[in-house]
Structure 1
């Protein structure tokens, strides 16, 4: 297969996935924030908390609609651009996606309608339950998506069937409780909570700077500051857990994002700053702190973390085993009753994916030379500079969020929100930072897994569909234009909603219901 086709397929999926994830974190964060605000309204009966719930709920609704529009396209791409991937692992990967649609997305979408149009039809407690179900539905949706993604990072509970030429589930509970998936879930949703809290902080700061909606903005900031601080602390702690799990299952990713070319005596030093040289397989310049990486990555003083060069040597052996598994598979396909070939395949099938890496360099895997094996082994090295700096941007911003929300929480606890304008400007200009951190995190997770679509099982170049270059170029151009239009629509709707500000009435109230006292007379046009 022409590698340019694979590259375009990867670029298209990366563009749609990372664009879609601009909306998901804000949906996760705002869902719980509006549930908290409505809980305070039900407990206190104060109308301002109802207005807060309505306003942030409107922002949530706009963002949710855009997230759905961009997310549906991603699932279609599995069949269009990655058809062999769908054939190879569809029995496993498809199950979490189906459950996400049936169990989580429908729950969330159904109760969103009740949230917006049920204010005058449900009791206070009934509507509050609906709001919490919206929040839980959003998080359940993320859970099943991340279970599917976690299996791509660490394929457990499955086996390759030589008769069907597919991966099949052997233990669905192992897939669900995959440690990589669980770590990714809690880390990802916590990042979404930080995003939602920062959005509320920034918009509220803008109101205070403009001298508008003072009480609304101060209360919103107080909730966001406490919620954001808890979320920011969770992101760092749970991110550390996610990294620890990766040291067990994705050693090359860890070595790449730390730019560690050679195995060091335990505990390994951490490179704070480094300039990796991919050709020479070394760092041109590095500033290191002794012992820190070993202590964080292994939580011990004696466990070594393997370097990139050493992992390439390990890949050589796995590729040789994978070639033997490939040869046995060809014998089974020629004669399904060949018990000797089945016995050999059963002993080495776990490395079949490594054998398939050779196909990128020659189609007849069984005749691979040492030069071919070396090329395949070297292909397991990810783009180290991209991983190294993406990780440091993400981590640096994570610690910034802790400091930011801790300061905001301290100011809020002293009832001095809005008294120092520089803090409001800081909150306003910090608005894009959670998205930057999240995109770096996803780049690290997905780009760091290369050259694998499924870690150690299915190479990315082998998973793509047999489309033409023009098919991909045209569809990529259409997606970029469409998504750019959606981005403009999102910004226009958000800006209009924010400029209009919190309403003193329910914009989704039924026509026959009695209106609340208000200074406004028209509902916002969304």
Structure 2
């Protein structure tokens, strides 16, 4: 029998490392493009203040990037250590985008980050600006390939199970690459990163304005962040709608759990703005609904129903029985690869094999599973509803707040009177943690909502774990929590130190280039020495 304690602790360990890592990634995405915008203004206008802004925010970007790299490397090792059967079963598909990310996107990103910091006195303005934009492109390409890999876990397209090798194999890499779930996740995630970068810049700028320090840098940074943040926050909502549509197409159980929709509603379905889900009674104890809204979001129509949780459990039970047929045919093929009847049976039902594996939690010989065990396995396809229901609404609520926040900031920027709005500058400071809260909630919805699957409909999570001892998981879990906490403290201290010094103290001896094609000095990165 599967030791679920080991599985749950392995899930917890991976979740904690990912959540720590994901504190750094969005800020890297957002700051990279804002830095590129600032340097573009510098190259076009030649005004020294924009160069100071570029280098100052670049220093903060570099600190954050270094921490992101340090926390991200560990995650890939966990696939081999904690999830070895997952790596064996789907490694041919999942590993390809990660390899491309490392060989192309990460090397591109890391190379141009080095040129960004150490190329100021070696490159012309245009050359250095090109480097900065390529650095920003590299950060986004890195996110693209990682989210293609993750998107395949949500919607495993372009691959089939090979009964000869007992593994999933790619048959259409273009289908993996252009997976609609992966594309929706990518644009939604990077837009959230842009919002995070904008809030970060605006909050620090507001801090300087409240203190009356570095006003020339703070005023311009505030204005850039207001415009960039408004555009990004609007795009997050629009692209989030695309993610909802993709979920209805490919992850119906996740969508039903997010909405706490136990029964299939008449089209168009209502959106539950507030509710109290009760998993035991399989109903909501209380609900406030917005008519038609969910149907419009998820189906973009007024006549397409959205299946409820209980209907989807019935479909899962049917697929589990199909999975039993596929598993039985597979056992026959392992004994005789020339069994034509078994091959035909497997080809008809192989897509249900993953559902059949859900029975492995309850018995080894799944072909003899009782009706009760089949029903129990079907109910396992329902994630815990309440956490999904509330984290999604926290994320959405923060998203709409940030739209209003940036709209007001943009209005004040256009009026050139935001320095007089002390209340709004203080609000900007308190807004700083909100994008991270929303992003972590979004990650939780995406990953927890996929349970009980490591790969949706293909490989159950408990079946993907390594056969480790309990003490091994506990030791590494405590070690990672301690290490990552230390890294987080270091990150915060370095950031606070840089912010406390400010651009004037970090860059004491800046001199503008004498001509548009003259090399750029980098006294800032050498402690003021040429």
TM-score normalised to the size of structure 2?
A: 0.96
SS at match of 1:300: coil
**Shift in Å, 1:4:** 0.2
Residues 116 and 508, structure 1, Cα contact 8 Å, conserved in 2: no
SS at match of 1:503: helix
Gaps of 5+ in 1: none
Instruction: Map 1:282-301 to 2 at 5 A.
Output: 282-301=283-302
Q: For residue 42 of structure 2, what is the aligned residue in structure 1?
A: 41
1:362 aligns with 2:366: no
Residues 505 and 517, structure 1, Cα contact 8 Å, conserved in 2: no
1:230 aligns with 2:231: yes
SS at match of 2:273: strand
Q: For residue 136 of structure 2, what is the aligned residue in structure 1?
A: 135
1:178 aligns with 2:184: no
SS at match of 2:280: coil
Q: For residue 327 of structure 1, what is the aligned residue in structure 2?
A: 328
Q: For residue 379 of structure 2, what is the aligned residue in structure 1?
A: 378
Cα separation, 2, equivalents of 1:86 and 1:9: 14
Cα separation, 1, equivalents of 2:38 and 2:121: 18
Cα separation, 2, equivalents of 1:521 and 1:61: 12
Q: For residue 259 of structure 1, what is the aligned residue in structure 2?
A: 260
Q: For residue 409 of structure 1, what is the aligned residue in structure 2?
A: 410
Cα separation, 1, equivalents of 2:175 and 2:410: 40
Residues 117 and 525, structure 2, Cα contact 8 Å, conserved in 1: no
1:486-525 deviation per Cα after TM superposition (whole angstroms, max 9, x unaligned):
001001100000000013775899xxx999799x99829x
Quickly say closer, same or farther: Cα 1:505–1:485, change in 2 above 3 A: closer
Instruction: Map 1:207-356 to 2 at 5 A.
Output: 207-356=208-357
Instruction: Map 1:105-184 to 2 at 5 A.
Output: 105-184=106-185
Cα separation, 2, equivalents of 1:418 and 1:487: 32
Cα separation, 2, equivalents of 1:124 and 1:496: 29
SS at match of 1:279: coil
User: How many pairs align?
Assistant: 521
**Shift in Å, 1:215:** 1.3
Q: For residue 24 of structure 2, what is the aligned residue in structure 1?
A: 23
Cα separation, 1, equivalents of 2:509 and 2:349: 61
1:523 aligns with 2:527: yes
Instruction: Map 1:28-107 to 2 at 5 A.
Output: 28-107=29-108
1:351-394 deviation per Cα after TM superposition (whole angstroms, max 9, x unaligned):
00000000011111111110110010000011100110011011
Quickly say closer, same or farther: Cα 1:503–1:39, change in 2 above 3 A: same
Residues 35 and 58, structure 2, Cα contact 8 Å, conserved in 1: yes
**Shift in Å, 1:301:** 1.0
1:165-200 deviation per Cα after TM superposition (whole angstroms, max 9, x unaligned):
100000000000000000000000000000000000
Q: For residue 502 of structure 1, what is the aligned residue in structure 2?
A: 503
Q: For residue 484 of structure 1, what is the aligned residue in structure 2?
A: 485
Cα separation, 1, equivalents of 2:329 and 2:349: 9
Structure 1 stretch displaced more, 170-179 or 287-296: 287-296
**Shift in Å, 1:269:** 1.1
1:140-163 deviation per Cα after TM superposition (whole angstroms, max 9, x unaligned):
000000000000000000000001
Gaps of 5+ in 2: 511-517
1:6 aligns with 2:2: no
Residues 498 and 506, structure 2, Cα contact 8 Å, conserved in 1: no
Structure 1 stretch displaced more, 488-497 or 411-420: 411-420
Quickly say closer, same or farther: Cα 1:210–1:336, change in 2 above 3 A: same
SS at match of 2:504: coil
TM-score normalised to the size of structure 1?
A: 0.97
Quickly say closer, same or farther: Cα 1:335–1:496, change in 2 above 3 A: same
Cα separation, 2, equivalents of 1:51 and 1:506: 7
1:254-297 deviation per Cα after TM superposition (whole angstroms, max 9, x unaligned):
00000000001101111111111111111111111221111221
Residues 118 and 522, structure 2, Cα contact 8 Å, conserved in 1: no
Quickly say closer, same or farther: Cα 1:321–1:19, change in 2 above 3 A: same
Quickly say closer, same or farther: Cα 1:74–1:521, change in 2 above 3 A: closer
Quickly say closer, same or farther: Cα 1:44–1:277, change in 2 above 3 A: same
**CA RMSD, aligned part only?**
1.8
Residues 123 and 519, structure 2, Cα contact 8 Å, conserved in 1: no
Cα separation, 2, equivalents of 1:247 and 1:280: 24
4+ residue segments displaced more than 4 Å: 504-509, 513-518
Residues 504 and 517, structure 1, Cα contact 8 Å, conserved in 2: no
SS at match of 1:502: helix
